[in-house]
Amino acid sequence: MLTFTVEKTDSAARQGTLVLPHGTVHTPCFMPVGTQGSVKTLTPAEVVETGAEIIVCNTYHLYLRPGHKRIQAAGGLSKFTGWNRPILTDSGGFQVYSLAALTRVTDEGAEFQSHVDGSRHLFTPELVVEIQEALSSDIAMCLDECPPYPVSRPAAETAAARTSLWAERCSRVREPETNLFGIVQGATYADLRESSAKSLVSLDLPGYAIGGLCLGEASDVTYDMVGRVAPLLPIDRPRYLMGAGYPEDIVAAVRLGVDMFDCVLPTRNGRTGTAFVSSGRVVIRNSRYADDLGALDPTCDCYTCRNFTRAYLRHLFVVGEALGPRLLTLHNVRFYQRLMQGIRAAIEQGVLESWSRDFLDRCRSSSDPTGEANDR
Amino acid sequence: MLTFTVEKTDSAARQGTLVLPHGTVHTPCFMPVGTQGSVKTLTPAEVVETGAEIIVCNTYHLYLRPGHKRIQAAGGLSKFTGWNRPILTDSGGFQVYSLAALTRVTDEGAEFQSHVDGSRHLFTPELVVEIQEALSSDIAMCLDECPPYPVSRPAAETAAARTSLWAERCSRVREPETNLFGIVQGATYADLRESSAKSLVSLDLPGYAIGGLCLGEASDVTYDMVGRVAPLLPIDRPRYLMGAGYPEDIVAAVRLGVDMFDCVLPTRNGRTGTAFVSSGRVVIRNSRYADDLGALDPTCDCYTCRNFTRAYLRHLFVVGEALGPRLLTLHNVRFYQRLMQGIRAAIEQGVLESWSRDFLDRCRSSSDPTGEANDR
């Protein structure tokens, strides 16, 4: 139920096609995040218009509300949400640890209290596969244990071993048509990463993710880990770096052989007033934009940039109009799709290295200094 | 700068065309409210798609933020907001009394403290005309004194007299191309309403509004006042009943000869989860919709009704996704435009009375009982 074809390579970078039950995805791809079945503030039609071909939803959230049985009865998640295209569901491991209360993890699974109503639940590897099958996810993720950063070596070792054990159990119960991805753990310990990758590869899964990175460690550590793990993963399976969202991290990881990305950065930054533009970042509330009658990003073709001035966008944020977060989110999601289109074209033409250098130079040319402070 | 043509009448009801600097409006019309220069949650393109031809913005809000000079420098309000079509601006009288602090009204004007930062301002009749001219409003409203309901006869008398005095001053300073509307006051006192209407009509203004109604008084009182005032207004000028928003009130007022309406009801109710549908009201959070795979309103042609189930819309509201308020607002604004299209067609065909009866019967057929409680 998944066909992945590498069409072109440029050093370790790959440009390919991923055919899934609900549609085709061109890789390297960026998947906007729609945790609760909605890419925040946007309609499915708008997400399609940005060029996105697949989105990420969350098993933990959807299991709690509205419940996977309800979504199953509605014909699966793609139909329920009106997106009607491929969806990858994260297993919820990460959310259990970061959102739920009183989480107790044993080899059996992760017991937690709902952040919504305090009710108690147990996520086992088997249950998260069952939930994702009820959702008809195009790609289902194994339950993993994702420790925070930094983490001690013994804790990282336990988490990686448990993640492998759980992957085996997930793999055993999955329906043959379920596209189950394993998740490489091991924190920032190179040997743990390598043994985690090897044990998952032995399960012969349709795809592999690298989890537990982009959690606050230095970029060179992230790249080092990705650079060690990627070559250990099967060349004919898609590789997904979970949570990597800064354009520079995406470019770097593509060059290390990663095919898929997701992050809340474009949507969250959009909602809170920071736009990714070709020259860097724009913090739209900045008073310097109060009389700026130019487009948010003059090089962008999105609805926001074609129709509104920075002065009006700033006004919307200053007075708290919901249209502001919508328009900046729309732009940011489009920005990321244009980034991926640029990356794919550069791989096709065999010029990824020079393209990356030019892209990153432009990005650094005029960012608002307070850009990251606004990323809350 | 304003041409109003009554094309067809059906008893007192009129179907007409209002040509304004930024475009043509078919009457009777409903004007969605975009207080701060944005119809809440919607893009201008979406508002156009609902069929709306004119929106209402607010002088008080836009004067405070971003400031009328700034909007003037951006080419006027229609251009600044990207709406590019007709805009009526309310003078801000109502907002000064309802939102601002420490309002002190004298014959000179209304002194108030900004609800944003506490700064002190004085709205005179002359200033509100100047502001609305800076905004390039298609229709500007006179500054009026709008007392709350209920109000004593002496207070109503003072407010009506002051409103007439201010209208004269507004009229004296307006540029010839400014489409200035007078506002009839007089609360629920028939003789005050009549003398207010007569004194305003003597100013020979391009249009007239009936203000100070729909503030909580019984419907039959509203209709009685409208029914007394409308015949006193010139037959060849548009008549605007300010703030009337319930479909039944709009239908009743059209039958009394009113041409223009505005209200926050479709947008506010949409944001808070109550939809106007052909069978009445739907409170989407109601658990009865949790597994309802039908459209919000099966008779509606809006994007929401064409693409989403009640179950999904309910989920969006339950989990707090911004898309929920967007989709219900879009539907409600479309509902009101379809209502006005129905009214105009019925007048054209000379069947408004029977059409109104059928429409209101359908509306009462299956409303959620808690509909109005949710209208906060």
Query: Which residues between 304 and 333 in chain B have a beta carbon less than 8 angstroms from any beta carbon of chain A?
Result: 307-309, 311-312, 314-316, 318-319, 321-323, 325-327
Residue A44 sits at the chain B interface (C-beta within 8 Å): yes
- Farthest-apart Cα atoms in chain B, separation: 61
Residue A194 sits at the chain B interface (C-beta within 8 Å): no
Residues in chain A where the model's pLDDT stays below 70: 369-376
Tell which of A285, A319, A330, A331 to mutate to test the B interface (max B CBs under 10 Å): A319
Measured between beta carbons, which residues in chain B are less than 8 angstroms from residue A293? 74
Beta strand B260-263 with B29-32 is parallel
Measured between beta carbons, which residues in chain B are less than 8 angstroms from residue A290? 66, 70
What's residue A375's pLDDT?
A: 36
Size (chain B), residues: 376
Q: Is B138 an active-site residue? A: no
Is residue B376 pLDDT above 80, yes or no?
A: no
Contacts of A39 (CB under 8 A, 6+ apart): A32, A33, A47, A55, A267, A329, A333
What whole-number distance in Å separates Cα of residue B173 and Cα of residue B326? 41
Query: What Rg, from alpha-carbon coordinates, does chain B have?
Result: 20
What whole-number distance in Å separates Cα of residue A121 and Cα of residue A109? 10
What whole-number distance in Å separates Cα of residue A315 and Cα of residue B89? 18
User: pLDDT > 90: what percent of chain B?
Assistant: 92
Under the banding of pLDDT at 50, 70 and 90, the label for residue B375 is: very low
**Facing B321 at nearest CB: one of A40, A80, A303:** A40
Residue B49 contacts residue B279 (beta carbons within 8 Å): no
Secondary structure letter of residue B158 according to DSSP: H
Residue B303 sits at the chain A interface (C-beta within 8 Å): yes
Put the strands of the sheet holding B180-184 in their side by side order.
B29-32, B260-263, B239-241, B207-210, B180-184, B139-141, B87-90, B55-58
Measured between beta carbons, which residues in chain B are less than 8 angstroms from residue A296? none
Cα distance from B286 to chain A (closest Cα, Å)?
13
What's residue A376's pLDDT?
A: 26
Would the CB atoms of A65 and B315 count as touching at under 8 Å?
Answer: yes
Beta strand A110-113 with A120-123 is antiparallel
What's residue A368's pLDDT?
A: 83
Residue B287 sits at the chain A interface (C-beta within 8 Å): no
CA A258 to chain centre: 12
Q: What is the pLDDT of residues B123-164, one digit of tens each?
A: 999 999 999 999 999 999 999 999 999 999 999 999 999 999
Q: What is the mean pLDDT of chain B?
A: 95
Would the CB atoms of B315 and A43 count as touching at under 8 Å?
Answer: no
Would the CB atoms of A73 and B327 count as touching at under 8 Å?
Answer: no
Residue B68 sits at the chain A interface (C-beta within 8 Å): no
**Facing B309 at nearest CB: one of A74, A293, A327:** A74
**Facing B307 at nearest CB: one of A41, A82, A325:** A82
Half-sphere exposure of B364 (CA within 13 A, CB side): 7
Cα distance from A272 to chain B (closest Cα, Å)?
13
Under the banding of pLDDT at 50, 70 and 90, the label for residue B371 is: very low
The values of phi and psi at residue B158, to 5°, are: -60, -45
Half-sphere exposure of B28 (CA within 13 A, CB side): 35
**Residue the block writes with tokens 């309002």:** B103
Q: Which residues of B126-147 are buried (b: 16+ CB within 10 A; e: fewer)?
A: bbbbbbbbbbbbbbbbbbbbbb
Q: What is the pLDDT of residues B242-277, one digit of tens each?
A: 999 999 999 999 999 999 999 999 999 999 999 999
The Cα-based distances of A47 to A228, A267, B312, B321 in angstroms read 34, 11, 17, 15
The Cα-based distances of B153 to A148, A166, B146, B149, B187 in angstroms read 69, 78, 13, 11, 8
The Cα-based distances of A180 to A1, A172, A186, A294, B31 in angstroms read 10, 11, 20, 46, 52
Is residue B374 pLDDT above 60, yes or no?
A: no
Q: Is B368 an active-site residue? A: no
Considering only alpha carbons, which residue of chain A is nearest residue B64? A319
Q: What is the pLDDT of residues B280-321, one digit of tens each?
A: 999 999 999 999 999 999 999 999 999 999 999 999 999 999
Put the strands of the sheet holding A207-210 in their side by side order.
A29-32, A260-263, A239-241, A207-210, A180-184, A139-141, A87-90, A55-58
What whole-number distance in Å separates Cα of residue B101 and Cα of residue B120? 9
Considering only residues B101 and A375, tell me which one the structure prediction assigns the higher pLDDT.
B101
Q: What is the pLDDT of residues A328-374, one digit of tens each?
A: 999 999 999 999 999 999 999 999 999 999 998 988 887 886 444 33
Tokens for B146?
Answer: 């709008």
**Facing A312 at nearest CB: one of B81, B308, B312:** B81
What's residue A318's pLDDT?
A: 98
Tell which of A315, A317, A328 to mutate to test the B interface (max B CBs under 10 Å): A315
Q: What is the pLDDT of residues B14-30, one digit of tens each?
A: 999 999 999 999 999 99
Query: What Rg, from alpha-carbon coordinates, does chain A have?
Result: 20
